Amino acid sequence: MKEFDRLNLMHSLEEFKEAEQLIPGGVLGIRRPYNFVEGEYPIYFESGRGGRVTDIDGNEYIDYLCAYGPIIIGYREKEIDDAVCRQIKGKGFCFSLSQVYQNELAGKMRELIPCAEMSIFVKTGSDATTAAVRLARSYTGRSKVLRCGYHGWHYWCVEVKGGIPEKLYEDVFEFKYNDLNQVEELLKKHRGQVAAIIMTPFGHPLAQKLEAPQPGFLEGVRRLADDYNVVLIFDEIRTGFRISEGGAQKYYGVIPDLAVFGKAMANGYSIAAVTGKTDIMKEGESNVFVSSTFLPNSISYVAALKTIEIIERDKVLKKIWEKGEYFLEGLREAIGRHDTGAELTGIPPMFYITFKKDPDKLYKSRRTGFFTRLIRRKVFMQPYHHGYICYRHTKKDLKYTIEAVEDSLAWIEKKYPMR
């Protein structure tokens, strides 16, 4: 079996060594080297084009992380970037008052998204989930929140609790995706005190297998929210403008009271949104304060409008589903031919390869070996985060990746045989 040499990452490692003296941890959060395979993955990218990225050492990769989700079409999309440049050069984008693009985008969201009667635009997914929870608490006059999924880095939901007093998250209770009984038990226990249920409509827990909703689960949560007069919030930061133009709520046919969108809606430009029923959203008129110097900046609105136009015009999501179906079928066949404990979960636009845990903890070595061999083949995936298909991934890219996955599985099957 052919061996592949470690990539030349000299400049990445040099930059990171300097960064450690300037920035806590060198880089922040999930981009830190220990979230990949240290010494094997690049730390800095130089550029991107289509479905590929190039690091500062000149290595080019087929990219399935897609900037952790925002890249739905491709990197450096000329039509989108040209629209932004026209706005910057022709009109400007940072003013004391808003430009009309907010109205245009809110109107487009109302047209596409079932729950979207009104919208508030912010910059990040964490902003959006926090604003949604604040609206729900104001509307209901209650404080407790039930949550399922990753909702960002703000105090009420962040996984790492350093620097956060317990009183700031003591009213937030987690439940497991697809466990309707647990949701009902929490609602009974805190009857009359729960303001909101916030959840990802498609299950993508941190570093765990992806989960589609079991039959009746989303419908059951909707029913319980109605029975207990609780605001149901769908966190569609990852699923919005990816599973369908109207989000997972449209795809699964279950409509929340509020929903949050971000990532793919502007193909990499920083924007997120809270959208939902008018009576709840109107809490933002005077009871809930949402403001920031940069929220009205129109670059991201222009990018979002152009991105959504392309998604609709070119049937982008239909083609992503078609590519993803081909890709997942190839991955399933490759995994089925090798006894490695590898597991594939997800749906065509979003996928994840994980490894079954075993008493000897060899799954960790299998995982490291698998992703090491992939990155040496110039396939960029993340061991602890699911991947995405973007519009610019080509059939050639997908075929090459399926072959690289099979090669990596064959290698770890030989090196770490199942017992």
269-278: burial string, b at 16+ Cβ within 10 Å, e else: bbbbbbbbbe
- Strand ranges (DSSP E) for 322-392? 342-347, 350-355, 379-380, 387-388
Does some domain include residue 113? yes
The answer to whether 121 and 98 have CB atoms below 8 angstroms apart is no
Task: Specify the pLDDT at position 206.
Answer: 87
Same-domain status, 164 and 53: no
pLDDT at 161: 95
- 27 and 172 inside one domain: no
Q: Are residues 192 and 265 in the same domain?
A: yes
pLDDT of amino acid 385: 97
Cβ-Cβ contacts under 8 Å for 341 (sequence gap 6 or more):
355, 356, 358, 363, 366, 418
Residue 167 structural domain: 78-313
Q: Are the beta carbons of 386 and 350 closer than 8 angstroms?
A: yes
| CATH code for position 47 | 3.90.1150.10
Structural domain ending residue among the three candidates 259, 287, 313: 313
181 and 321 both lie in a single domain: no
Report how many domains make up the chain. Answer: 2
- Whether residues 232 and 332 share a domain: the answer is no
- The two three-digit tokens of residue 56, written as one number: 């500062």
Whether 5 is in a domain gets the answer: no
Q: Which residues of the chain are under the pLDDT cut of 50?
A: none
Looking at the structure, do residues 170 and 306 belong to the same domain, yes or no? Answer: yes
- Over the stretch 371-385, which tens digit does the pLDDT of each residue have? 999 999 999 999 999
- Alpha carbon 352 to its chain centroid, in Å, reads 13
CATH number for 141: 3.40.640.10
Q: The whole model's pTM is what?
A: 0.97
On whether both 86 and 232 belong to a single domain, the answer is: yes
Amino acid sitting at position 330: G
In a domain, 201, yes or no: yes
Domain boundary among 256, 291, 313: 313
User: Could you tell me if residue 1 is inside a domain?
Assistant: no
pLDDT at residue 319, rounded to an integer = 98
Where a domain ends, among 290, 313, 336?
313
Same domain, 290 and 353: no
- Tell me, yes or no, whether 178 and 267 share the same domain: yes
Say yes or no: 113 and 256 in one domain.
yes
Q: Which of 245, 249, 232, 274 is nearest to 125 (CA)?
A: 274
